[in-house]
Structure 1
Amino acid sequence: MSAPGERPEAETGRNSDTPVADAVRGNWVDTWAPEPVRPYLRLSRADRPIGTWLLLLPCWWGLALAAAGDRWRSEDVWIALGCALGAFLMRGAGCTWNDITDRDFDAAVRRTRSRPIPSGQVSVRQALIWMFAQMALAGLILFTFDRLAILLGVASLALVAIYPFAKRFTWWPQVFLGLAFNWGAILAYAAHSGRVGPGAVLLYASGIAWTLFYDTIYAHQDKEDDVLIGVKSTARLFGERTGKWLGLFLILAVSLMTVAILIELLPHAAPMKLAVALIAPWSMGWHLLWQLQRLDIDDPDTCLRLFRSNRDTGLLAALFLAIAAAL
């Protein structure tokens, strides 16, 4: 503990190579990355790839749904790859911005005080430079898409900027995360089709419901610390009623994706294409139900494990939509 008037260790620049507490053990950043760049990769959550998956998968949903409405095209390979690279970079930039704005909160929470800024691995100025570098690279990728997709990508920056502050003024910060993290469903759909159809909007809404599901589980890890520091979340709001709320989000996610597929494919798609596409929301729903049955909101390790399993939830939906597009 620092004496009165002393700067805490988190501000002195010590602990230059401290792994983050909730990172996957043996991850490539802590094991293989050169030591000077490790703090920046940790700031981008490269040692915790689940966030990149959760940002990327709605992009692939939107692309596959648009392709299912007509056909796969050669340029879709770049759209899918560009979304993957962009998701990695923009998730990194978003996490960097989140850590800059939350540095005082993070220093007060056991799970997050080992993050690069509160632990002294990176200064705020260095973090800002790193954030803008990632955004610039993501911008180069975005500008290879068509005009509508570019405009949508630029518009998403407002959601990214607002999200870190949401937990200060609303019990529903997970809604703001959902708005930001699922924007790619609309962007990738537009990159393929050159328009934003109603199916894309419904798919976006389905993703928001999915985010409310998984991020409420995630937030239960920190609920005790959040009470002490005054941070709001759906985990605190729902408390012991969490299971019932998650069941509602499950139903919304499955229903909205189902309607999105029906709107896009029912008028003209072959029965086999439609049937395969409809497996996507129901496979996602099955996986969410599996999580719900195993949830223990008072066990942080279980919450983290189930949160991470949502990569598979989203991949199931992406897989069946992609197969349907190929039929």
Structure 2
Amino acid sequence: MSAAVLPSRLALYLDLIRWDRPAGWLLLLWPTLTALWVAAGGFPGWHLLGVFTLGTILMRSAGCCVNDVADRDFDKHVKRTAQRPVTRGALGVREALAVGAALALLAFALVLTTNAPTVLWSFAALGVTVLYPFAKRAVAMPQAVLGVAFSFGIPMAFAAVQGTVPPVAWVLVAGNLLWVLAYDTEYAMVDRDDDLRIGIRTSAITLGRWDVAAVLAFYAGFLLLWAWALAPMVHPVVGAVTLAVAVAQVAWHARLIWGRTREGCFQAFRINHWLGATLFAGVVVG
């Protein structure tokens, strides 16, 4: 491969994995790191911090490869996604899947440095990651499947630290699932007209005129579950301040999505990682 070709291929690969749009892997990272801190009762050590940070980035990137291959015939009809590398033909299906497989193998190599329970959880996580892109064809709210996929970092973090997954982890998983439903419904609201035209199922379509109310209910459920789960582990003052900042952010989301404009809904989705960062910071400080 010539020197002139290599940079162009690298640029396509970086575009394929959304390297310039880190919001996606940050949405995965914050709940995973929060679970890691809770499981360890504080700083989990550099090894686990590195494994879960790099592993999150790698698996989210691998998921993008699978998603773009699965959705390539749909994405060409949506203005926001029509220029993705696989959709426009700049990358072939086999090449995109090969990139995804390589990234997933690197993530698995990191998991192998932990323990047997974490390795077993990683297989389930991979299975749901591969399944999600196809859920849009059969499930009325595929965002729920994404919620499961985006929550696997929580039980994996507990398994890596404690060798088991205690009840508090499942409360965090349930809350995180609601958070994913909230922000991915905002994302789906951006493309609702295009999705209706091409026949894709999304939570924004399923919820109809109740979409905004449902998003706010999802946020409320998320914050209530996490506040309940984390209350015994976080200083009351820190917990109260953290919750107040989180509620203020949800109020801003409500304002952004109230008119159901593409711009407002997309901005609401893009700033969600700050909500996750706020809760993580509250756990670290508290």
Q: What interval of TM-score do these two structures reach, taking the shorter chain for normalisation?
A: over 0.9
Q: CA deviation at 1:178?
A: 0.6
Identity %: 33
In the TM superposition, 1:294-313 aligns within 5 A as: 294-313=256-275
Question: 1: distance between equivalents of 2:57 and 2:82?
Answer: 23
One-letter code aligned to 1:72 = F
Contact 1:44 1:93 in 2 (8 A): yes
Q: Tell me which of 27, 35, 50 is aligned to 2:8.
A: 35
Aligned to 2:128: 159
Q: Tell me which of 26, 32, 40 is aligned to 1:67.
A: 40
Q: CA deviation at 1:165?
A: 1.1
In the TM superposition, 1:1-327 aligns within 5 A as: 34-68=7-41, 71-73=42-44, 76-262=45-231, 265=232, 273-277=235-239, 279-324=241-286
Bigger Rg over Cα = 1
Question: 1: distance between equivalents of 2:19 and 2:167?
Answer: 34
Task: Give deviations 1:159-217, integer Å, cap 9, x for gaps.
Answer: 11111111111221110011001211121122122221111110011111011111100
- CA shift in 2, pair 1:250/1:80, >3 Å: same
Q: CA deviation at 1:244?
A: 1.1
Q: CA deviation at 1:277?
A: 4.4
> What is the SS of the residue equivalent to 1:108?
coil
Contact 1:64 1:321 in 2 (8 A): yes
- CA shift in 2, pair 1:147/1:277, >3 Å: farther
> What is the SS of the residue equivalent to 1:163?
helix
- TM-score, with structure 1 as normaliser: 0.81
Question: 1: distance between equivalents of 2:161 and 2:91?
Answer: 39
Q: Which deviates further from its counterpart, 295-304 or 217-226?
A: 295-304
Q: CA deviation at 1:63?
A: 0.8
Contact 1:283 1:317 in 2 (8 A): no
- CA shift in 2, pair 1:277/1:143, >3 Å: farther
One-letter code aligned to 1:320 = G
> What residue ranges of structure 2 are gaps of 5+ in the alignment?
none
Contact 1:220 1:297 in 2 (8 A): no
> What is the SS of the residue equivalent to 1:169?
coil
- CA shift in 2, pair 1:90/1:186, >3 Å: same
Task: Give deviations 1:225-248, integer Å, cap 9, x for gaps.
Answer: 101110011111223222211121
Contact 1:198 1:260 in 2 (8 A): no
Q: CA deviation at 1:279?
A: 4.7
Q: CA deviation at 1:249?
A: 0.6
Aligned CA-pair RMSD? 1.9
One-letter code aligned to 2:193 = E
Contact 1:257 1:281 in 2 (8 A): no
Contact 1:258 1:278 in 2 (8 A): no
Question: 2: distance between equivalents of 1:42 and 1:124?
Answer: 15
Contact 2:256 2:265 in 1 (8 A): no
- TM-score, with structure 2 as normaliser: 0.92
Question: 2: distance between equivalents of 1:83 and 1:41?
Answer: 21
Q: Which deviates further from its counterpart, 223-232 or 242-251?
A: 242-251
One-letter code aligned to 1:260 = A
> What is the SS of the residue equivalent to 1:232?
coil
Q: CA deviation at 1:278?
A: 5.7
Aligned residues: 282
Task: Give deviations 1:22-76, integer Å, cap 9, x for gaps.
Answer: xxxxxxxxxxx932211111111112111110111111110122233xx435xx2
- CA shift in 2, pair 1:46/1:120, >3 Å: same
Contact 2:256 2:267 in 1 (8 A): no
Question: 1: distance between equivalents of 2:50 and 2:133?
Answer: 28
Question: 1: distance between equivalents of 2:31 and 2:241?
Answer: 16
Question: 2: distance between equivalents of 1:178 and 1:49?
Answer: 18
Contact 1:284 1:313 in 2 (8 A): yes
